[in-house]
Amino acid sequence: MNSFRGFVIKEFKQIYRDTRTLVVLFGMPVLMLLIFGFAIRNEVNNAKVGVLDLAKDEVSSVIIQKVSSSKAFQIDAYLTSYDEVESIFRKGDIKEIIVFEKDFTRNLTRKGNASIQIITDATDPNLANIVQTYTKAIIGDYVQELNANIKPDVGIKTRTKMMYNEELASVNLFVPGLIAVILMLVSALMTSISITKEKEMGNMEILLVSPLKPSHIIIGKVLPYLVLSIVNVFTILILSKFIFGVPFVGSYLLFFAESILFIVTALSLGVFISSVANNQQTAMMVSLVVLLLPTILLSGFIFPVESMPFPLQVISNIIPAKWFLVIVRGIMLKGSGILIIWKETAILIGITLVFMTLSLKNFKVRLQ
C-alpha cells in the first residue's frame, strides 16, 4: 500500500509540474464555454443584404427601412439591375438580395397584391433558410400592420409552449455537450497518452518489475485525471450558472454521480486505447478519431441525432457521450430523476464494464 501511495504521489507531481498543460487543461473549458456562450448562436446578426428596388416608391422604401433597422440585417448594397446579382454573390459577403417589383405600391393598393422576390446565396443552406425566414417575418409584420383594421377571426391558432428552455438559448443546449467533450478530452485522451508515454520511454519496464501490481499502476495513472476532471466539471457548472444563467433544475447529487460514472467510462476508454497503441502519436490519433470527433459530431452535441441518416443513428448508440448528453440535459434542464434516466445510466455502466474488462485483458505484464 505504501508503494502504491508513493506511485500516486509521483503521478500527481508529474502532472502538476507541467504548467503549460495545466493552463490549457483549465483554460480550455473556460474558453470553450465562453465561445459557445457568446460567439456561437443560432440567430443571425448583421447579415449583409442587398436591395434591388425597381419600384422606388413609398411602400418599398418603408420596407427597406424596416429591414435595415432590424438587428439581423445590414443593407450593404443597392443594385440597379438583375445582372449585378451574380457578381455580388460571387464576392461572397452578401447573403441575400431583396427585389421589389415595378409599381410595387400601386399593385398593393389597387390589386391588393404586390410581390417581393428574395434571392439568397444558398451555398449555406442553413443561413439561407434563416435569413429568408427573418425577411418574411419582417414583411409579414408589415402586412399585418397594413391590415390592422380588418380582423379575420376565423381559423385555428396554435399556442406553442417551449418546454425546458423557454428563451431557446443555445448555451443551455451546449453546456451538457461541452461537459462531455471536456471530460473525454481530459480523461480519455490524456490518460491514453500518459500510459503510452511510459511504454515509449521504456519506463513501463521499470514499473512492471517493481512490486506494484498492474491494477495499481493503472489506478495510479488514472487518479490524477479523475481529480482534474471533477475540478473541470465544477468550473463549467459554476461558470454556466453565474455567467450565462443556465438553469439547473434537477438534483446536484445525481448529476455528480452520473458525471463520475461518465468519467470512469472515459478513463476506461483511455486505458483501453493505451493497451492497444504502442506510441503516443498513435494513441493520440486514435483517441482523436475514435473518441473526440464522434463525441462532438455524433452524440447530438451540435447536430441532432434525429437528423442523421439511419446508419449513423445506429452507430451513435455505441458512443457513450450520446447517453451522457441525454442524462445531463435531463437533469439540468428537465429536472429528471433516476426513474426517467435509468435506461441511459444502465447503458453507460454496460459500456464501462466492457471496456474495463477489455483493457485488463489486453494489459500486458510482460514485454515481448
Partner 1 sequence: MRIIQFLLQKEFLQIFRNKAMLPIIFVIPVVQLLVLSFAATYELKEADFALVDRDQSIASRELVSKLQATGYFTLQSEFTSGDEALIHLEKGEVAFVVQIPKNFQQSLSSKTATSIQLVIDAVDGSLANLINSYVNSIVQDFSVEKSAVIDLTGPQNIPLPIIKKISTQAINWYNPNLDYITYMVPGILVVLVSMIGLFLSGMNIVREREIGTIEQLNVTPITKFQFMIGKLVPFWVIGMFDLLLGLTLARFGFQIPFLGSLTTILIIAGIYLVLIQALGLFISTITETQQQAMFIAWFIMVVFILMGGLFTPIESMPLWAQKVTLGNPVAYFIKIMRMVLLKGAGWKEVYGMVLIISSMATGLLAVSVNRYKKTTG
Q: Which of residues 184-243 bind partner 1 (CB under 8 A)?
A: 185, 189-190, 193-194, 197, 200-201
Q: Which of 255, 264, 248 is nearest to 320 (CA)?
A: 264
Contact stretch for partner 1 (CB under 8 A) within 226-234, 261-269, 284-292, 360-368: 284-292
| CA 316 and chain centroid, separation | 15
**Choice between 77 and 284, CB closer to partner 1:** 284
The window from 34-42, 204-212, 349-357, 360-368 that contacts partner 1 (CB under 8 A) reads 34-42
Instruction: State which of residues 6, 166, 205, 353 lies at the interface with partner 1 (CB under 8 A).
Output: 166
When asked if residue 83 is in the footprint of partner 1 (CB under 8 A), the reply is no
Identify the residue among 2, 80, 81, 158 touching partner 1 (CB under 8 A).
158
Cα 146 to Cα 277: distance, rounded to the nearest angstrom? 69
DSSP 8-class letter at 306: G
Handedness of CA 232, 271, 274, 220 (dihedral sign): positive
In 3D space, the residue among 262, 292, 302 whose CA is nearest the CA of residue 174 turns out to be 302
> Are 41 and 69 within 8 A, CB to CB?
no
Q: How far is the CB of 192 from partner 1 (least distance, A)?
A: 10
Q: Residue from 55, 64, 79, 172 that binds partner 1 (CB under 8 A)?
A: 172
Does 148 contact partner 1 by CB under 8 A? no
C-alpha cell at 27: 483554460
Query: What gap in Å lies between CA 191 and CA 196, rounded to an integer?
Result: 9
The radius of gyration computed from the CA coordinates of the chain, to the nearest angstrom, equals 28
> Which window, 38-46, 217-225, 267-275, 347-355, contacts partner 1 (CB under 8 A)?
38-46
Residues 51-70 within binding reach of partner 1 (CB under 8 A): none
Which stretch, 5-13, 234-242, 253-261, 331-339, contacts partner 1 (CB under 8 A)? 331-339
